C-alpha cells in the first residue's frame, strides 16, 4: 500500500517543557532538562543527574484531569496525548475508525515501588491501588479512556525503540485502510528500578551527557511523553489546516547482537535507516537532518555513527542528538523526537548537540553544535535504537 500518512497534531511533555511550545522554546534557547533528582525517591539523588519533568504527581494529575494516585507514567501519557488530539482539532472523531498505540517500558512501576516499600516490612500496609496498573498495557488503557478511543488500542514495549515502533504500526494500519486516525507515540516515567538497572550497566554519566563526543561517559535518564496524530490522506483533505508533514518512511530491524548493546558495526541501525529511506523513495542525499538516537554511551554512538558512515558517506546531512536536552526518555524517546522532527520541518530548525567538544576519532563527521534557523528542512530521519538490537528509523517529509 502506497497511501500517504500525515501528521495532523503533536503533543509532548518533557524535562524541558510541559507542552509543545515550551519544548520548542527550550530547544531554541538551549535550556536543558537535566539536574539534581527532586521528585523520585532514590539513593542516587545527590549522585546522578536526571531529566525529570518539573512537576509533582499532584500537579501532573491536575493537568491530566486524573486522580493523583494514578501512576506518573499514565499522567504524563495523558497530558501529551490530550495536547496532540487538541492540536489536530479533528471534528466528529467518534464517527472515525480511531486508534491509540502507545509505548512504555515501566508501566506503573513507580507506584508498585511505593507499594512494596510499605508492604514488605508490614504486610498490613500498602495500598493495593498502587499495583493494579503495574503492567504496561494498563497505562495505555487509562489514556485511551480519557481520549475516548475504543476501536483499536495497543501497547508496544521494545525498549528504547518502543514509541517509534508504535508510530510505525499506526502508519501501517492507516495505509492498509484499517483505521482513519491513530494517536501514536509513547511515555516513560523515572523509577528506582530503571536508575538502578542502568547504573548496574555502568552507562550513566555523573555529569550532563555528551552525545557523539570522543570523551562521552554515558547517558542521563529522563522522562516524558510524546505523541503524533497520524491520519489518512482522505481525512487530511477534509481538515481545515495543513498537516505538519508526512510520515514518508519507516523501518524496523533487529541485529540481535546482545541483550543491552548494539552491534559494533551498526548492522541493525544501518538496515533500519536504509529500509526507511527505501520505503520513502528517498536517496540518502535528500535527508536534511538526522535526529540521532545519540544516547552518549560508548557503544551506542559508535554503532550508530558507523551505520551513518556506511549509508551516507561521503556527504553527510546535518545531525544532532536532542537527548542532550531531554536525557534519554527510553520508551518515550521515539515519540518525543518525532514531535521534534515535525517542528524541525515546520520551523526550519536544526537543533544543537549540546556540550559537544571533541570529534570521535572513528567518524568523519560531527554533529551540529549551534541552533540553525531558517533552514530548508524537507526530510528528517529520526532514529530510535533499543536493547536487544531492536532498531527503528522514521522519515518525516514536508508536504
Instruction: Supply the CATH number for residue 60's domain.
Output: 3.40.47.10
Q: Do residues 215 and 253 both lie within one domain?
A: no
- Give the CA distances from residue 170 to residues 155, 156, 207, 246, in Å, rounded to whole numbers and listed in that order: 11, 11, 37, 13
Q: What is the dihedral of CA 211, 51, 375, 89, to 10 degrees?
A: 140
- Give per-residue pLDDT as tens, 175-189: 999 999 999 999 999
Q: Which of 238, 264, 284 is the last residue of a domain?
A: 238
pLDDT of residue 260: 60
**Which of 210, 238, 266 is the last residue in one of the domains?**
238
52 part of a folded domain: yes
234 and 256 in a single domain? The answer is no
The residue to which cell 476501536 is assigned: 151
**One domain for residues 318 and 364:** yes
Structural domain contains residue 42: yes
**Greatest extent of the chain over all pairs of C-alpha atoms, in Å:** 65
Distance in angstroms (rounded) separating the CA atoms of residues 2 and 388: 30
**260 and 367 co-located in one domain:** yes
231 and 269: one domain? no
Instruction: Decide if 127 is inside a domain.
Output: yes
* Residue 213 lies inside a defined structural domain of this protein: yes
Residues 224 and 302 in one domain: no
Tally of domains within the chain: 2
Instruction: Tell me the C-alpha distance between 30 and 24, whole Å.
Output: 10
- Same domain membership, residue 200 and residue 277: no
pLDDT of residue 324: 98
Q: Give which of 7, 35, 24, 17 is closest to 221, Cα–Cα.
A: 35
In a domain, 58, yes or no: yes
Position 244 in a domain: no
| Active-site residue (options: 293, 342, 379, 391) | 293
195 and 253, same domain (yes or no): no
Whether 260 is covered by a domain: the verdict is yes
Please say if 160 is a catalytic residue.
yes
Domain that holds residue 36: 5-238
Which residue from 264, 329, 251 is spatially nearest to 301, judged by alpha carbons?
264
Which residue is catalytic, options 133, 328, 379, 391?
Answer: 328
Please pick, among 136, 160, 342, 391, the residue that the annotation labels catalytic: 160
Contacts of 345 (CB under 8 A, 6+ apart): 244, 245, 377, 378, 380, 396, 397, 398
* pLDDT above 90: percentage of residues in the chain: 88
Are 221 and 287 within one domain? no
> Which DSSP category does 356 fall into?
-
pLDDT for 117 equals 85
| 289 and 225 in a common domain | no
Residues 40 and 97 in one domain: yes
Task: Flag whether 243 is in a domain.
Answer: no
Catalytic (active site) residue 123: no
- Which regions in the chain score pLDDT beneath 50? none
Residue 1, pLDDT score? 58
Annotation says 328 is catalytic: yes
- C-alpha torsion sign, points 40, 300, 102, 379: positive
Residues 165 and 253 in one domain: no
The residue from 213, 238, 263 where one domain ends is 238
Amino acid at each position: 500500500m502506497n497511501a500517504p500518512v500525515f501528521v495532523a497534531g503533536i503533543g509532548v511533555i518533557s524535562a524541558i517543557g510541559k507542552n509543545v511550545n515550551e519544548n520548542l522554546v527550550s530547544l531554541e534557547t538551549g535550556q536543558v532538562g537535566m539536574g539534581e533528582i527532586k521528585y523520585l525517591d532514590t539513593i542516587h539523588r545527590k549522585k546522578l543527574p536526571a531529566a525529570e519533568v518539573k512537576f509533582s504527581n499532584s500537579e501532573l494529575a491536575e493537568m491530566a484531569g486524573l486522580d493523583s494516585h494514578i501512576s506518573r507514567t499514565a499522567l504524563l501519557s495523558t497530558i501529551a496525548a490530550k495536547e496532540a488530539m487538541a492540536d489536530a482539532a479533528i471534528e466528529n472523531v467518534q464517527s472515525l475508525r480511531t486508534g491509540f498505540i502507545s509505548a512504555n517500558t515501566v508501566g506503573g512501576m513507580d507506584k508498585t515501588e511505593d507499594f512494596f516499600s510499605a508492604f514488605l516490612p508490614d504486610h498490613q500496609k500498602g495500598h493495593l491501588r498502587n499495583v493494579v496498573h503495574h503492567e504496561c498495557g494498563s497505562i495505555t488503557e487509562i489514556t485511551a479512556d480519557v481520549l475516548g478511543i475504543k476501536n483499536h488500542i495497543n501497547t508496544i514495549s521494545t525498549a528504547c525503540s518502543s514509541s517509534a515502533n508504535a508510530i510505525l504500526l499506526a502508519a501501517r494500519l492507516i495505509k492498509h485502510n484499517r483505521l482513519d486516525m491513530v494517536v501514536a507515540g509513547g511515555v516513560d516515567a523515572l523509577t528506582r528500578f530503571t536508575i538502578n538497572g542502568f547504573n548496574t550497566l555502568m552507562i550513566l554519566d555523573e555529569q550532563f551527557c555528551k552525545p557523539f563526543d570522543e570523551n562521552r561517559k554515558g547517558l542521563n535518564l529522563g522522562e516524558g511523553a510524546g505523541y503524533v496524530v497520524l491520519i489518512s490522506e482522505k481525512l487530511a483533505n477534509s481538515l481545515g489546516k495543513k498537516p505538519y508533514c508526512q510520515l514518508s518512511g519507516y523501518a524496523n530491524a533487529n541485529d540481535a547482537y546482545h541483550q543491552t548493546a548494539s552491534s559494533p558495526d551498526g548492522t541493525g541501525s544501518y538496515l533500519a535507516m536504509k529500509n526507511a529511506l527505501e520505503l520513502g523513495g528517498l536517496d540518502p542525499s535528500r535527508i536534511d537532518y538526522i535526529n540521532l538516537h545519540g544516547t552518549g554511551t560508548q557503544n551506542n554512538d559508535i554503532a550508530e555513527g558507523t551505520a551513518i558512515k556506511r549509508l551516507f558517506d561521503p556527504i553527510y546531512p546535518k545531525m544532532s542528538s536532542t537527548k542532550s536536552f531531554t536525557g534519554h526518555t527510553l520508551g518515550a524517546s521515539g515519540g518525543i523526537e518525532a514531535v521534534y522532527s515535525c517542528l524541525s520541518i515546520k520551523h526550519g530548525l536544526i537543533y544543537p548537540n549540546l556540550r559537544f567538544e571533541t570529534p570521535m576519532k572513528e567518524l568523519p563527521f560531527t554533529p551540529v553544535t549551534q541552533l540553525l534557523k531558517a533552514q530548508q528542512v524537507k526530510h528528517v530521519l529520526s532514529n530510535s535504537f533499543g536493547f536487544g538490537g531492536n532498531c527503528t528509523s522514521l522519515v518525516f517529509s514536508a508536504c
